[in-house]
Structure 1
Amino acid sequence: MASAASVDDLRPGDHACLTYSDTEERLDLVAAFVRDGLGSGQKVICLTDPSGPADLAGELAERDVKPAHGGQLAIRDNDEVWLSGGQVSAGNIIEMLSGELAAAHRDGFTGLRVTADMCWATRPAAAVDELLVFETRVAGLFADGRLTAICQYDRQSFDQVTLAFAAKAHPRAVAAAVYHEDPLLRICRQHVPPGIRLAGEIDYRRVTELNQALAEALRLGGDIHVNLRHLTFMDAAAAAAIGQAALALQPGRAMSVVCGRAVHKVLDLVGVTDHPAVRVRLVHGRA
């Protein structure tokens, strides 16, 4: 399998694998995949598990993915698609996708884009060997470039053998761009809304990595979203780096910051919240 790339780099005909352990990061990548498909005139189908279509629709809306019209976006429950009749058949699923490809062409869409949470394969009623058959046989549907897909695998739900097979079966892989990761801190790119995401604890020792992430967000243009909802500690040096990035914004651009109470206090202490281009949203229930 190819090395992991940004979801923005996927092209028509790509069959990609997303293995994840961070649910929010997974939803960010899925939202970017859906947004790009809608923007390019493709029919988009999301197969979601296990909470249901309504939850995914809300998560997409929270990430600024606009509602689609004319049946362009369909969100379906995994159990209804994969486990219809209580038994999985790889052949039936491939036949379904073939029918959706034909329907997308007939309805005037430029192609079909599918993202599927593969956790259905961990159900007692599901046969894991059908998952292996599906991932092997579905490759033929991508040949003419009309189908683009991301299959999502939760690292905590699948064993290492299955994850290794999934990695080998997909020609492409998608992952967030990571600027820094260690047991205490993760800094990565956020695709939707565009910006960066921090989780864990940050102090002056990681300001260089934070500045790198902020600098790339500044280069991308538009407003910057700084997601700190999973950051439990920030010192004044890191907060000041965010303030300096806000000062570097060109006229007309803004910075949105989401954080908990403890981080908000530090941002307020160093004056970030006073900047006219900065909008801070406090996430209640977080330290």
Structure 2
Amino acid sequence: MNAHEDHEDHPGTLPVQRMRPGDHAFYRYESGTHGRDVMSAFVWAGLARGEKVLVFGPPRLTSGQVWSAFEDAPGPLLATAHRSGGLALSSMRRLIEPQREFTADRQWERIVEETRAARDEGFTGLRAYIDMGWVADLGADLDTMMDREQRAGHLFTDGFYSEICAYDESRFPEPVLRAMRHAHPRDLLARLGQLTCLRTGGTLHAVGEADASTRAEFLRALRLICDAPGRGRLTLDLRRLEFLSVRCARDAVRLLDTAGAGRTVRIRCSQRHATLLDRLGARTADIEVSG
């Protein structure tokens, strides 16, 4: 799967670390990986924010196997949260009890109950990682699942609840995966450490992590926008970068000096990245701090 092609027409593409309270995200993972690194990062970030976390792992895995996916997460935070109830491993089957047949209304009712309970318990938010393997496990039809995904927006309106819907790409038809990606406001990169560069008009969006392992792709994208024909302003948007190395930041600064005649280049980024770019010699007038 070519990450650039897969994400190029979704405006909400971002790495899992950039998810915020109230986000509803689609996540597609390769069969056999169980989405371990993205799941772990999502869980750890939620606990670090003081949120309660629910994990509905792949139904074919035991709770012990799901728990083993968190073994590489840093520090004692997960173990402490698991003991205290801040991290709960569950299943869709258990969530909708005593009903045995899945309905969107029953699931929404239970999520609202869990959200209310998390508020009452003093958590700063509630987040859920839901592996969509529950569809086959409960014998639900795809139309029911797709309808739920397309009409779930009311769960996220107050910014307290966030959710990842994780799809094993071997278990769903490609048209369903494409439809579900576009039904979600957020579309997660497949792996930690990945970089995807998306171009819309005169703007290049760098998404993920720009470091030694992804520098070649970052450079190709910089050259692509720098060498674009025509005149006017170009924008390098770094707001969805989770990490920007010094070397890649220096490459971006050089971009400002190599644009063709009649071109101006603006870098749109966070304050953290703006500070780094400034120290590497970028002109303050060329940087727009946003997000």
Question: How would you bin the TM-score normalised by the shorter chain?
Answer: 0.5 to 0.7
Residues 50-199 of structure 1 aligned to structure 2 (within 5 Å): 50-64=60-74, 66-67=78-79, 68=81, 69-81=83-95, 85-123=99-137, 125-175=139-189, 176=191, 177-178=193-194
> Is residue 37 of structure 1 aligned with residue 46 of structure 2?
yes
Q: Could you say if the C-alpha distance between residues 179 and 122 of structure 1 is closer, same or farther in structure 2, counting changes exceeding 3 Å?
A: same
Equivalent pairs: percent with the same residue? 28
Aligned-partner Cα distance in 2 for 1:84–1:131 = 19
User: Over the residues paired in the alignment, what is the CA RMSD in angstroms?
Assistant: 3.3
CA apart distance, 1:37? 0.2
Query: What is the aligned partner in structure 2 of residue 20 from structure 1?
Result: 29
Contact 1:122 1:158 in 2 (8 A): no
Contact 1:15 1:172 in 2 (8 A): yes
Please, which moves more after superposition, 141-150 or 61-70?
Answer: 61-70
Q: Which amino acid aligns with 1:60?
A: F
Give 3-state SS (helix, strand or coil) of 2:117's partner.
helix
Q: Which amino acid aligns with 1:35?
A: W
Aligned residues: 198
Q: Could you say if the C-alpha distance between residues 8 and 179 of structure 1 is closer, same or farther in structure 2, counting changes exceeding 3 Å?
A: closer
Q: Could you say if the C-alpha distance between residues 136 and 149 of structure 1 is closer, same or farther in structure 2, counting changes exceeding 3 Å?
A: same
Aligned-partner Cα distance in 1 for 2:86–2:185 = 26
TM-score, structure 2 as length reference: 0.59
Query: What is the aligned partner in structure 2 of residue 282 from structure 1?
Result: none
Aligned-partner Cα distance in 2 for 1:9–1:124 = 32
- Unaligned stretches of 5+ in structure 1? 181-188, 198-205, 210-215, 220-287
Q: Which amino acid aligns with 1:106?
A: D
Q: Which amino acid aligns with 1:66?
A: L
Contact 2:22 2:160 in 1 (8 A): yes
Residues 229-267 of structure 1, C-alpha deviations (whole Å, 9 max, x = no match):
xxxxxxxxxxxxxxxxxxxxxxxxxxxxxxxxxxxxxxx
Aligned-partner Cα distance in 2 for 1:172–1:217 = 21
Give 3-state SS (helix, strand or coil) of 2:71's partner.
helix
Contact 1:4 1:172 in 2 (8 A): yes
Q: Could you say if the C-alpha distance between residues 36 and 124 of structure 1 is closer, same or farther in structure 2, counting changes exceeding 3 Å?
A: closer
TM-score, structure 1 as length reference: 0.60
Query: What is the aligned partner in structure 1 of residue 221 from structure 2?
Result: none
Q: Which amino acid aligns with 1:18?
A: Y
Give 3-state SS (helix, strand or coil) of 1:66's partner.
helix
Q: Which amino acid aligns with 2:62?
A: G
CA apart distance, 1:98? 0.3
Aligned-partner Cα distance in 1 for 2:173–2:101 = 21
Give 3-state SS (helix, strand or coil) of 2:25's partner.
strand
Q: Could you say if the C-alpha distance between residues 140 and 85 of structure 1 is closer, same or farther in structure 2, counting changes exceeding 3 Å?
A: closer
Aligned-partner Cα distance in 2 for 1:35–1:124 = 28
Aligned-partner Cα distance in 2 for 1:163–1:113 = 22
Contact 1:52 1:77 in 2 (8 A): no
Residues 181-220 of structure 1, C-alpha deviations (whole Å, 9 max, x = no match):
xxxxxxxx89xxxx999xxxxxxxx9967xxxxxx7976x
CA apart distance, 1:139? 1.0
Aligned-partner Cα distance in 2 for 1:149–1:87 = 22
Aligned-partner Cα distance in 1 for 2:105–2:55 = 19
- Unaligned stretches of 5+ in structure 2? 1-9, 197-207, 218-242, 247-291
Aligned-partner Cα distance in 2 for 1:140–1:149 = 12
Residues 263-278 of structure 1 aligned to structure 2 (within 5 Å): none
Query: What is the aligned partner in structure 2 of residue 47 from structure 1?
Result: 56
